């Protein structure tokens, strides 16, 4: 038996990595039926891992102080020993890049490959959100372009100016995504060429005489242009993507500034699917590595010692502290995702009466992998929970739902893990993964271009949840800085239409 082991001892080697990969591959592609991008595995040091953390996990990133802050923060925690580093980081690109750390043992490297190079990779390639919203083929090229473009801007316009612009753009990142439609799947590659062409054209066609002597044309009065309604139509208002709106319409921005806004917006869009699929993505990777590692152990390719090591880190990853535990910091997406997927397997293979009632389509079908692959491709966290969270799992995790009103001094327990509570808990949990509900709904509604150019934003207030004042004021200053004219934000109740509150910033005057 010993000779069939993939490796012995803790040290990893390139040979062992290749052997492990070749053994995992048929399990993942055959038994689990995964479909993946080509893999690229990169070995890095702890310090490089910290670097990668700092730049939101991307291999290359433009420079900004906030990444330095992240680095300082993580470094401090790491040096103190308060926090270990992730074993891997994986990038949604073609080829799919997985970073693994040099200090991992060989058992860990095997786990990491199963987790990242197959689990995450399959998810990136198949989930509809990633397919629809991100361009895995081009992301690395685009980052390269973004980094060098911003570096050139720093040289040309000064790092202060670029920093201020990036500060403002970062503040609006959450409002920089298209949520419901994608105008054009234009691919990202041509952006660079377009920008070059734009600059070249400006430089070639610049004519001082023309600029100074030809009258600019009398401004049209509002009446002439048909009033607010027409203006709103022209600007395509209301617009929820504030960064996009500013990039296209802010009167005072120069073209390099617009391009930088665009870069930040593209990044926000790139990360948007990840925000919506944290539970599923991690669940998928964890489920896949669990199946693969078990199979390796069963077939005698992984020693008992290696398997124990795997179980040790696996249980650490899916550990879910109770709500009253000091370590509690929300529901662990690894736990929820993994448990739900295991639960689906149970329902497909050994269903109870209850399961048959709740999941008539899949209970007892035996087609675990078909169901899972379909879920991984078609769902996001919110819909996944809504569809697949079973009473059995609610009981296992002892989930309960709370709510409270603004002026209430108590929480009310709405539902617990019993017959009457299942549906409610399921619905509430799903809700908490719905980004559209969790993030403030803010839109540009009016620009008043022919008047004083005050930009008006509306925040739709649901259930009385208003914006945090201080942050709102700061972000608003950033908006005003980009827009170049005063900005007003009105918080309007989504149901009654009443105004809760107004924020105003007339930067740079205030």
Partner 1 sequence: MRVIDRRQNPQGKSLANRQRFVRRVKRQVAEAVRQASAERSIRDLADGEQIAIPSDSLREPRFRHDGKTGRQQGVLPGNKEYKEGDRIPRPSGGNGSAGREGSPDGEGEDSFGFVLSREEFLDIFLEDLELPDLMKKSVTRSEQMSFQRAGYATSGTPSNVNLLRTMRNSLSRRIALHRPRTQEMRALEERIQLLEAEQPEDPELEELRAKLHQLRRRQKEIPFLDPIDVRFNRFEAVPRPITQAVMFCLMDVSGSMSEEMKDLAKRFFMLLYLFIQRRYRHVEIVFIRHTHHAEEVDEETFFYSRETGGTIVSTALEEMRRIIRERFPPADWNIYGAQASDGDNMTPDGPQVASILEQDLLPISQYFAYIEVSGGVGELLRTQSNLWQTYAPFAAAHRNFAARRVAKRGDIYPVFRELFTPEPQGS
Contact with partner 1 (CB under 8 A): which of 264, 288, 444, 461? 461
Residue of 414, 423, 460, 499 that binds partner 1 (CB under 8 A): 414
Question: Is residue 452 a contact point for partner 1 (CB under 8 A)?
Answer: no
- Contact stretch for partner 1 (CB under 8 A) within 15-23, 190-198, 265-273, 343-351: 15-23
Asked if 285 and 342 touch (Cβ cutoff 8 Å), the reply is no
- Is 48 a binding residue for partner 1 by CB under 8 A? The answer is yes
Q: Where are the alpha helices (DSSP H) in 206-277?
A: 208-213, 227-235, 242-249, 255-276
Kindly list the distances between the CA atom of residue 281 and the CA atoms of 92, 306, 393, 433, in Å, as whole numbers in the listed order.
Answer: 12, 25, 19, 13
Considering the complex, state which of residue 140 and residue 228 has its C-beta at the smaller distance from partner 1: 140
User: 469: which strand partners?
Assistant: none
Closest CA to 123 of 374, 444, 300, 456: 374
Token digits for 455? Answer: 């930009």
- Return the bridge partners of 332, or none: none
Per CB under 8 A, the list member of 408, 452, 509, 510 interacting with partner 1 is 408
Taking CB under 8 A as the rule, does residue 241 contact partner 1? no
The secondary element (H helix, E strand) that includes residue 292 is helix 278-298
Q: Which is nearer to partner 1, 75 or 354 (CB)?
A: 75
Site string for partner 1, 51-90 (x = CB under 8 A): x--xx-------xxxxxxxxxxx-xx--x-----------
507 binds partner 1 (CB under 8 A): no
Compare residues 10 and 402 and give the one whose CB is closer to partner 1.
Answer: 402
Site for partner 1 in 280-319 (CB under 8 A): none
The long-range contacts involving 383-387, CB below 8 angstroms and separated by at least 24 positions, are 383/430, 384/279, 384/280, 384/340, 385/279, 385/336, 385/340, 385/426, 385/429, 385/430, 385/433, 386/426, 386/427, 386/430
Give the residue, chosen from 258, 458, 478, 481, that forms a contact with partner 1 under the rule CB under 8 A.
478
Secondary structure letter of residue 439 according to DSSP: S
Question: What length does the chain have?
Answer: 510
Out of 5, 19, 29, 43, the residue judged to bind partner 1 by CB under 8 A: 43
358 and 378 Cβ atoms separated by less than 8 Å: no
Q: Which is nearer to partner 1, 175 or 269 (CB)?
A: 175
One of 132, 404, 460, 499 touching partner 1 (CB under 8 A): 404
Q: In this chain, which of 420, 496, 498, 509 binds partner 1, going by CB under 8 A? A: 420
**Closer to partner 1 at the Cβ: 31 or 439?**
439
Applying CB under 8 A, among 8, 45, 423, 499 the residue interacting with partner 1 is: 45
Q: Which CB, 380 or 459, lies closer to partner 1?
A: 459
Buried b (16+ CB within 10 A) or exposed e, 27-39: bbeeebebebbeb
> Which one of 42-50, 207-215, 307-315, 347-355 is the stretch in contact with partner 1 (CB under 8 A)?
42-50
Which of 153, 428, 482, 505 binds partner 1 (CB under 8 A)? It is 428
- HSE-CB at 64 with a 13 A cutoff on CA atoms is 24
Distance of CA 299 to the CA centre of its chain: 37
Judged by CB under 8 A, the residue of 227, 252, 471, 502 near partner 1 is: 471
How near is the Cβ of 200 to partner 1 at its closest, in Å? 28
Task: Kindly state the number of chain residues that form the binding site for partner 1, as judged by CB under 8 A.
Answer: 103
**Which of 328, 366, 367, 436 contacts partner 1 by CB under 8 A?**
328
DSSP-derived letter for residue 86 is P
């Amino acid at each position: 038996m010993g000779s069939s082991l993939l490796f012995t001892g803790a040290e990893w080697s390139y040979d062992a990595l290749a052997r492990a990969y070749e053994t995992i591959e048929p399990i993942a592609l055959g038994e689990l039926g995964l479909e993946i991008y080509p893999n690229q595995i990169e070995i890095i040091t702890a310090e490089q891992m910290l670097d990668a953390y700092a730049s939101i996990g991307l291999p290359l990133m433009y420079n900004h102080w906030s990444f330095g802050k992240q680095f300082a923060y993580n470094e401090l925690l790491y040096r103190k020993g308060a926090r270990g580093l992730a074993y891997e980081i994986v990038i949604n690109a073609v080829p799919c890049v997985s970073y693994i750390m040099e200090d991992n043992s060989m058992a860990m490297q095997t786990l990491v490959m199963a987790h990242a190079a197959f689990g995450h990779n399959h998810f990136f390639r198949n989930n509809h959100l990633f397919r629809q919203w991100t361009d895995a083929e081009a992301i690395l090229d685009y980052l390269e372009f973004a980094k060098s473009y911003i570096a050139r801007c720093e040289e040309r316009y000064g790092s202060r100016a670029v920093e201020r612009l990036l500060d403002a753009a970062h503040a609006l990142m959450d409002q920089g995504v298209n949520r419901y439609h994608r105008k054009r799947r234009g691919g990202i590659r041509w952006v660079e060429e377009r920008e070059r062409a734009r600059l070249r054209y400006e430089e070639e066609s610049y004519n001082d005489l023309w600029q100074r002597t030809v009258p600019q044309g009398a401004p049209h009065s509002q009446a002439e242009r048909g009033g607010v309604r027409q203006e709103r139509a022209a600007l395509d208002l209301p617009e929820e993507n504030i960064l996009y709106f500013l990039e296209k319409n802010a009167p005072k921005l120069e073209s390099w500034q617009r391009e930088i806004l665009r870069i930040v917006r593209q990044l926000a869009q790139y990360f948007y699917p990840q925000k919506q699929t944290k539970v599923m993505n991690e669940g998928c990777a964890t489920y896949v590595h669990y199946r693969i590692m078990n199979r390796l152990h069963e077939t005698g390719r992984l020693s008992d010692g290696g398997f124990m090591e795997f179980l040790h880190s696996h249980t650490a990853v899916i550990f879910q502290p109770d709500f009253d535990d000091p370590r509690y910091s929300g529901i662990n997406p690894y736990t929820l995702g993994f448990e739900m997927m295991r639960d689906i397997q149970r329902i497909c293979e050994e269903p109870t009466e209850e399961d048959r009632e709740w999941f008539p389509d899949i209970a007892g079908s035996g087609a675990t992998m078909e169901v899972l692959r379909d879920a991984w491709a078609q769902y996001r966290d919110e819909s996944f929970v809504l569809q697949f969270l079973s009473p059995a799992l609610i009981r296992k995790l002892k989930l309960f739902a709370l709510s409270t009103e603004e002026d209430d001094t108590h929480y009310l327990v709405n539902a617990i893990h019993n017959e009457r509570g299942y549906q409610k808990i399921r619905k509430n949990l799903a809700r908490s993964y719905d980004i559209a509900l969790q993030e403030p709904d803010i839109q540009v509604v009016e620009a008043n271009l022919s008047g004083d150019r005050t930009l008006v934003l509306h925040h739709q207030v649901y259930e009385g949840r208003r914006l945090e004042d201080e942050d709102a004021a700061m972000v608003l200053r950033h908006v005003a800085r980009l827009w170049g004219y005063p900005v007003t934000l009105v918080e309007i109740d989504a149901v009654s239409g009443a105004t809760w509150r107004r924020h105003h910033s007339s930067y740079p005057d205030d």
